[in-house]
Amino acid sequence: MPDLRDAETGVDFRPPAREADADVDFEAHRSHLMAVAYRMLGSRGEAEDAVQETWLRYAAARQADGSEPIRDLRAWLTTTTARICLDMLRSARVRREAYVGPWLPEPVVTRLPGRPVATGVPLSGWLAGEDTGFAPDPAERAARTDEVGIALLVVLERLTPEQRVAFVLHDVFALPFEEVATVLGTSPAAARQLASRARRAVTAPGAPRSTADPAEQRRVLSAFLSAAESGDLAGLLAVLAPDVVAMGDSNGKVKGAGRRPVVTAEKVARFLIGLFRRAAAEPADIVVEPVLVNGDLGLLFEVNYHHGETVRFVTAVAVADGRITGLFNQLNPDKLAAVPPPDPARSWRFPQVTAR
């Protein structure tokens, strides 16, 4: 350990052992707390704020005179984080009433394993191939088990704060209803009822689902891009679920972005064909990189207009039973601060969708 004493004064700047131990203990649970908070809030930034507040409360509890020892630290930290998130969700409902257009979660974007081979093959054809890098080995799949898809987060956004907290704590993290009730300030029976209502909403007909494995995601996205690029209405209808939903989140900050969801295969297909045609006519250079969005195959776009403006957005694709159930475009620059620009070596031109 480096010597943290001042050479001239001899003042020791090392943290007290009790404080250092608290920091080590807390860090062992940070990733778990982030997973809890992100599922409850749908925002990485807000989740980090919630976890930081949990740390402050834990540090204060450790230093309080006469405080009883925390017997189960993981449970204490989880319920404390959940209470903080519950308060944040309640205040967020008021803020989101003034939000412009649909509200979508902040995506977690990572590059595909391996390296795409850009040799003039259209993106749709590359996705249909076998060697895309989107076939993680068992160790990589295990490392991503904590990820939660955008489709589920979209459905969770429809719940009340109490329903969402009950569902996440019990159905996702297996906390008993007695502990869930403590967080919510209610009875175990009431907590059970809240989780049950949330479960019905998550599994309701028409709710976007994402259950496809990597190979199915690849096939469906390949067929989708091929049909949309060529203006093939029948091809799009074949790959879109009857109750598919397409929506974008820009909070009014991107000119021309839609402010209402588009629902049903017929409407979404015609909307997409028009969108692709407008993209082809835009005075802009458009590139797209296939990426992982919250662990599922998605697309990272960058539009460089000839007048100098650049717009970046992420498309999350929910796939179930061989069809797309949801298309979620995140355009709000405030929610894309952590998303890097497309990698030229991994990107394709759009909408021609041929290798750069």
pLDDT, tens digit, for every residue of 236-265?
Answer: 999 999 999 999 999 988 887 778 999 999
Domains delineated in the chain: 17-96 (1.10.1740), 109-139+210-350 (3.10.450.50), 150-202 (1.10.10.10)
Residue 236: phi and psi, rounded to 5, are -65, -45
Q: Say what the pLDDT of residue 278 is.
A: 82
Q: What is the pLDDT of residue 9?
A: 53
- pLDDT at position 88: 95
pLDDT given at position 147: 62
* Spatial CB neighbours of 249, under 8 Å, sequence gap ≥ 6: 101, 102, 103, 104, 328, 329, 330, 331, 332, 335
Where the chain has pLDDT below 70, the residues are 1-21, 65-67, 115-120, 130-147, 351-356
Instruction: Identify the CA nearest to 302 among candidates 273, 331, 261, 274.
Output: 331
What is the percentage of the chain residues whose pLDDT exceeds 70? 85
Q: Do residues 197 and 171 make contact, with C-beta atoms less than 8 angstroms apart? A: no
Helix (H, G, I), strand (E, B) or coil at 257: coil
pLDDT for res 19: 57
Token digits of residue 71: 């017997």
pLDDT digits (tens, 9 = 90+) for 58-73: 998 888 766 677 889 9
What's residue 5's pLDDT? 53
What's the pLDDT at 135? 53
Report which DSSP code applies to 70. -
238: Cβ contacts below 8 Å, ≥ 6 apart? 223, 227
